[in-house]
Amino acid sequence: MSEPDEDLKILASVESAQRISRRAFMSGSVVAAFSGSILLSACSTSSPGGAANSSGASPTLEDQLEFFHWAQYDDPKLFKKFTNELGPVTHIDTYTSNENAITKLVAAQGSSGYDIVVPTGPYIPQMVANNLLQELDLSKIPNFQNLETVFTNQPWDPGNAHSVCKDWGTVGWIVDKNQISTPINTWKDFINVAMTEASGNVSLLDAQNEVMGVYFWANGIDWTTTNQADLDAYEAWTLQMAPHVKAFESYPGYQFAQLGYGLSHVWNGDARQGFNSFKDPSRYAWGIGSPNTELWMDNWTIVQGAPHPEAAYAFINFILDPKNSLQDMEFHGYNTGITGLKEAAAAAKVPYLDMVFFDPAQLATMHAQEINSAFDREVQIFLNMKNAAGA
Amino acid sequence: MRASSATLPPDMSAEGRAGSVGAGDGSVELVGVTKRFGTVTAVDAIDIRVRPGEFLSLLGPSGCGKTTTLRMLAGFEDPDEGEIRISGRAVQGVPPHRRDVNTVFQNYALFPHMSVSENVAYGLRQMKTDKTEIGRRVGEALEMVKMSRLANRKPREMSGGQQQRVALARALVNRPSLLLLDEPLGALDRKLREEMQIELKLLQSQVGITFIFVTHDQDEALSMSDRIAVMLDGRVEQLADPDTVYDHPRSAFVAGFIGKQNFFEGTSRDRGSVVEGDGWTFRSSLEPIGAVDGRAALAAVRPEAVRVSAQQPSDGRNAISGDLASSSHLGDVIQFVVLTPDRKEVIARLPRPDAPHLDVGGRVWCSWEADHTHVFGAEQVEIVLADPARDEAAAIAG
Amino acid sequence: MALPAWVWFLCFFTLPVLWIVYYSFGYKPDIYHPIATDKLSLGSYHEAFSRAFVHVFSQTLQISIIGTSLCLLIAFPFAYWLATRVSPRWRGVLLGLVVVPFFVNFLIRTVGWLILLSPAGPVSSLLQRWGLRSEPLHLLQTRGAVQLGVVYNYLALMILPLFVTLDRLDPAMREASKDLGANRVKTFRQITLPLAAPGIVAGLLLVFIPLTGDYITALVLGGAKGNMAGVVVASQFTIAQDWALGAAQAVILIAMIMGTVAVFGLFAIAIRAIVRVSRRITLPPVAEEAV
Ligand SMILES: Nc1ncnc2c1ncn2[C@@H]1O[C@H](COP(=O)(O)OP(=O)(O)OP(=O)(O)O)[C@@H](O)[C@H]1O
Ligand SMILES: [Mg+2]
């Protein structure tokens, strides 16, 4: 994999065009299970990665590694490569939401049998408080130094005591210019077009966090608010918005053209997969939210009571290797935060890098969510919006 | 069974179904009627004429086309060729519900979700008969078959005989000019069956409806019918009154199918008046049927015409000797089975007073008169000489 | 060895439902715990009824009643034709074709329609090619798509019991009816229909109950407009992790199903009673016969 050639890359993008990855919420989850199984069988036949040795195998490495993970979130070839190079055989169970994963871990009380789980940043503090995660020994992850410092030492986990960045992304929209003539530059524009020109042909993400964000960002409110008046206004807005929504879709990207949406609310990696699949990409436009928008980060963590901790460290170190990281990035379409990744991707002529890497000015508008006292209410507001959308 | 109990209510006479095609005298004509199912010819160009008010039986072995004939009369099948007339009118294309015909089905076909009285009322309700009129006529019909007490039962709560009576009442209450009965007594035990035979016959003579009665029980046909149509392989072998069918069978098959018959296979001579076999020669004074001199022929004699004796009988009688294999009592008669040297069984039945005392195993003579000897051509030899035991063995082997 | 049926019923049906009922009185203490039952209240029911999913429930009921009726209307003629007109050899083949989709995963079956109905899919593009439509046809993510999907997914459950009863119905019954002067329509109404009633009831229950609780069809084909109660209940368990509210909604859903079945059951019983009364024959009194 030292010199990824053009053919291989095209193959990769076709694959990813068919794929649904991270955060397979409800509808995503069932469809992901379906398409994922097909993809997996296709991938499992391909040859493992190069046998080049990287870091020396620790003699104490266990022979297995258990993941509790989002569906289809990493290149399956990398797991094979890991097994070939370092020994532990990997096995993946999937979950469809952070809440879902946390509930299961809480219920298991340290006996879940999982080694690695991949929570989104804001969920980490309370997972730590509930003693679900091990404190990390960063000396066992020498490749940690490959991460850009911007993506280390996050507010939810100072000093990376429990987590290491897996990848991060943001949220925006895809628009079909043949259907929608009004230009969209801000979240306010997004809402206006969704309620007018695109009404009845809009998809929103099937994720309460991001839907909530649209309203708060458009109205200049901090999206971590717990102010009841703000939440009331948000709730009222959801009921206004609901009738215009055609679908709540976690992964509209690759289906965007197929399903004929006019406007879709979409994660950047998924949008990129969409563009990879479009026959006529010039017909569509991608936009990133403003004035403010999301920054989410998913993180490698080791589960409290993990039966194979050494293998877990070895894997995290393995995946932070720049070559492996580039390969993974090509698969999922998100920035893994490794220094020099952008240059390496550009050198490998990976398409649509502007949907993966953002400049500092853009980065400044991106904000992370936090889990606070408003959380349960926000979830219920969102679910109620979905119910109201059928009216 | 007392005749008085089957007395017919005054208006059970044949009037025909209001609003239906027929409403006629109940005569039936089948002219050259053929019915095929794929490659099977179930009914093969049959001609049958039934007189108004007649009791006609269709008799024949399984698969000979009896049910198919009835179904064409009822309208469930259309003939491929030929014409059917009921009460003088061609019924080609007339659907079952518009024919002045009712059927008592082989397995009764009572409606399980309806009570006895509702079953019987079904036909009248279809004609939009007035409710009190329905009640009256259903009551009469049930009385006629002595089922009034079970009027509110469901079919599954009744015995076969009871169901059969209900089926009869259900058909008769409509006063059709033609009633078709497809082995209606088949499921009954012997005693009930004999009772019902008498009752049915009585009923038929009282209501004056034409009955076409399907059976494969020859005794039933003989005891009940005005005439019998004996069928084989979709054809009518003989259509005549019971005595004629019994005494003057028109074919070896009819001779063998109605009553018991001893057959001897030999060669015809003297225009069929002599049949000569291996070690025997039988004379006949009856009209031979289908016998050609020099060709194979069958001589037939009924067991009750055969006499058995220890001495060779006087000249002039047909005689054959053999070993007495068994003698058994069949009620008033004694049946002797004699095995001839070529291992052929001859059966003789004699009234008890006339029966000689003979030792089983001893040599005896069977003899009979020339005017009890029928001669047939050998076309149906396979059918009439078929040994049931051998057939079974063949069926198992095949 | 064989346990009495009630033990089976208790373990696999009553206890789980009672458990759900118990949970529905609980509450969600914090985001890490989906359920607590130290304080029991009707709070979850109050919440359930105060929200938009009352609307989803009534939409679900409409979809399932219409869907079940459509299944019956489509399945009956087909099953009747299959049982009475088709030769036994072809009958096996056709029954096989009815059952074959069942060997395919429910989800994949439904995803098939996703492809078929999408605006870029074959139905839409054919209509456009033939000039019957100028624009892509947006069938997907509508209530109509869900309606179609559930009929497709549950049709076989209607066909099979109907076929079994109609197949067991002695053809002589229909012939006897015609023989007694009833035409085809009257025969159907008075004989075939009442005798097929157990199959119809079985088919209606087999289709209505799972259809009302179905959520995969709505998820895949429904979009925002074709939502169903099953989706709402499932998302309380999997997304919101609020088991108390989810349980309360499940209880409402179960009650709705049982209520609908009861209403239709009473209706059917009433109709049957009317039919029976109208069929009843009053016989004139007869002199006691000697038997
Ligand atoms: N619907 C049908 N399809 C094909 N063949 C049939 C059908 N009905 C009857 N047959 C054939 O036609 C022939 C006559 O059948 P039919 O039922 O009339 O006989 P049957 O005299 O009533 O016999 P049984 O005494 O056994 O009732 C048989 O060979 C039978 O197999
Ligand atoms: Mg028959």
Do residues C277 and C69 touch, judged by C-beta distance below 8 A? no
Q: Is residue A4 part of a domain?
A: no
Residues A108 and A186 occupy one common structural domain: no
* A26 in contact with chain C, both atoms CB, cutoff 8 A: yes
CB of B394 sitting under 6 A from ligand 1: no
Ligand 2 center–CA B384 separation, angstroms:
22
Q: Which domain holds residue C187?
A: 62-227
Provide, as residue numbers in chain C, all residues whose Cβ is less than 8 Å from the Cβ of A259: 118-120, 140-141
Kindly report the CATH number assigned to the domain that includes residue C183: 1.10.3720.10
C-alpha to C-alpha distance for A384 and A242, rounded to whole angstroms = 9
Residues A40 and A146 occupy one common structural domain: yes
Please count the CA atoms within 13 angstroms of the CA of B191 that sit on its side-chain side.
Answer: 1
Q: What pLDDT, on the 0 to 100 scale, is given for residue A59? A: 54
Walk along chain B (398 residues) in steps of 10 and give the mean pLDDT of each run: 39 40 78 96 96 95 94 96 95 94 92 96 93 93 90 93 91 94 85 86 89 91 95 95 94 91 92 90 92 92 93 86 91 91 89 87 92 91 65 44
Residues (pLDDT < 70) of chain C are 1-2, 286-291
Q: What pLDDT, on the 0 to 100 scale, is given for residue C2? A: 65
Do residues B286 and B305 touch, judged by C-beta distance below 8 A? no
Q: Relative to the alpha carbon of B69, which ligand is closest?
A: 1
C-alpha to C-alpha distance for B310 and B327, rounded to whole angstroms = 14
Q: Which domain holds residue A141?
A: 14-168+296-347
- Alpha carbon of C208: minimum distance to chain A alpha carbons (Å): 21
Ligand 1 center–CA B110 separation, angstroms:
22
CA-nearest residue for atom 3, ligand 1, is B37
DSSP code, position A162? S
Provide, as residue numbers in chain C, all residues whose Cβ is less than 8 Å from the Cβ of B111: 173, 176-177, 191, 195
Q: Is residue C192 part of a domain?
A: yes
Residues A59 and A36 occupy one common structural domain: yes
Test the C interface: residue of A18, A208, A259 with most C CBs within 10 Å: A259
Q: What pLDDT, on the 0 to 100 scale, is given for residue B385? A: 76
Test the C interface: residue of A37, A100, A103, A199 with most C CBs within 10 Å: A103
Amino acid at C249: Q
Q: What pLDDT, on the 0 to 100 scale, is given for residue B210? A: 96
Count up the domains in chain C and report the number: 1
Provide, as residue numbers in chain C, all residues whose Cβ is less than 8 Å from the Cβ of A100: 238-239, 241
**Mind listing the domains of chain B with CATH numbers?**
5-247 (3.40.50.300), 262-397 (2.40.50.140)
Burial of B175 (0-12, 13-18, 19+ CB in 10 A): buried
For C17, the token pair is: 């439902």
Quick check: C31 and A376 CB within 8 A? yes
Residues (pLDDT < 50) of chain A are 1-58
Please report the atom of ligand 1 found closest to the CA of residue B216: 25
Q: Is residue C30 part of a domain?
A: no
Q: What pLDDT, on the 0 to 100 scale, is given for residue A21? A: 43
Burial A170-208 (b: 16+ CB within 10 A, else e): bbbbbbbeeebeeebebbbbbbebbeebbbebbbbbbbb
Residues A18 and A157 occupy one common structural domain: yes
DSSP code, position B156? G
Chain C residue with CA closest to A372: the answer is C31
Quick check: A257 and C120 CB within 8 A? yes
Q: Is residue C41 part of a domain?
A: no
Do residues B120 and B138 touch, judged by C-beta distance below 8 A? yes
Q: Is residue C273 part of a domain?
A: no
Helix/strand/coil (H, E, C) string of chain C? CCCCHHHHHHHHHHHHHHHHHHHHCCECCECCECCECCCCCCHHHHHHHCCCHHHHHHHHHHHHHHHHHHHHHHHHHHHHHHHHCCCHHHHHHHHHHHHHHHHCCHHHHHHHHHHHHCCCCHHHHHHHHCCCCCCCCCCCCCHHHHHHHHHHHHHHHHHHHHHHHHHHCCHHHHHHHHHCCCCHHHHHHHHHHHHHHHHHHHHHHHHHHHHHHCCHHHHHHCCCCCCCHHHHHHHHHHCCCCHHHHHHHHHHHHHHHHHHHHHHHHHHHHHHHHHHHHHCCCCCCCCCCCC
C-alpha to C-alpha distance for B197 and B213, rounded to whole angstroms = 11
Reference A311, options A161, A88, A135; nearest CA is: A88
Residues A94 and A236 occupy one common structural domain: no
Provide, as residue numbers in chain A, all residues whose Cβ is less than 8 Å from the Cβ of C227: 386-387, 389-390
Cis previous bond, A291, omega within 30 = yes
Quick check: A34 and C105 CB within 8 A? yes
Test the C interface: residue of B37, B111, B143, B144 with most C CBs within 10 Å: B111
> Which chains sit next to A, with 3 or more Cβ pairs under 8 A?
C
For A304, the token pair is: 């409290």
Structural Rg of chain A based on CA atoms: 20
C-alpha to C-alpha distance for A18 and A39, rounded to whole angstroms = 8
Residues A117 and A59 occupy one common structural domain: yes
Place of tokens 């200049």: A220
Counting CB pairs under 8 A, whether chains C and A reach 3 or more, is yes
For C46, the token pair is: 């109050």
Counting CB pairs under 8 A, whether chains B and C reach 3 or more, is yes
Q: Relative to the alpha carbon of B36, which ligand is closest?
A: 1
Do residues C241 and A103 touch, judged by C-beta distance below 8 A? yes
Count up the domains in chain A and report the number: 2
Chain A residue with CA closest to C238: the answer is A100
Chain C residue with CA closest to B17: the answer is C181
Residues A183 and A326 occupy one common structural domain: no
- Counted residue by residue, chain C has a size of 291
Provide, as residue numbers in chain A, all residues whose Cβ is less than 8 Å from the Cβ of C55: 387-388, 390-391
Residues A52 and A153 occupy one common structural domain: yes
Q: What pLDDT, on the 0 to 100 scale, is given for residue C287? A: 55
Kindly report the CATH number assigned to the domain that includes residue A145: 3.40.190.10
Element (H, E) at A268: helix A268-277
Quick check: A387 and C225 CB within 8 A? no
Q: Is residue A5 part of a domain?
A: no
CA distances from B49 to A50, B88, C270 (A): 97, 11, 52
CB of B71 sitting under 6 A from ligand 1: no
Q: Is residue A353 part of a domain?
A: no
- Alpha carbon of B79: minimum distance to chain C alpha carbons (Å): 17
Q: What pLDDT, on the 0 to 100 scale, is given for residue C286? A: 61
Q: What pLDDT, on the 0 to 100 scale, is given for residue C140? A: 85
CB of B58 sitting under 6 A from ligand 1: no
CA-nearest residue for atom 8, ligand 1, is B68
Element (H, E) at A168: strand A164-169
Please report the atom of ligand 1 found closest to the CA of residue B64: 21
Quick check: C53 and A387 CB within 8 A? yes
Render pLDDT for A325-384 as a digit per residue (tens, 0 to 9): 999 999 999 999 999 999 999 999 999 999 999 999 999 999 999 889 999 899 999 999
DSSP, residue by residue, A322-364:
HHHHHHHHHHH-SB--BTTHHHHHHHTT-S-GGGT---HHHHH
Place of tokens 């095209």: A10
Give the residues across from B34 on adjacent strands. Answer: B81
**How many interchain CB pairs under 8 A, B with C?**
98
Residues A53 and A138 occupy one common structural domain: yes
Q: What pLDDT, on the 0 to 100 scale, is given for residue C288? A: 52
Residues A236 and A92 occupy one common structural domain: no
CA-nearest residue for atom 1, ligand 1, is B37
Q: Is residue C141 part of a domain?
A: yes
Q: What residues 297-336 of chain A have any CB closer than 8 A to a CB of chain C?
A: none
For A166, the token pair is: 């897996």
Q: Is residue A276 part of a domain?
A: yes
Ligand 2 center–CA B215 separation, angstroms:
8
C-alpha to C-alpha distance for A358 and A342, rounded to whole angstroms = 10
C-alpha to C-alpha distance for A364 and A360, rounded to whole angstroms = 6
* B117 in contact with chain C, both atoms CB, cutoff 8 A: yes
Residues A314 and A365 occupy one common structural domain: no
CA-nearest residue for atom 6, ligand 1, is B37
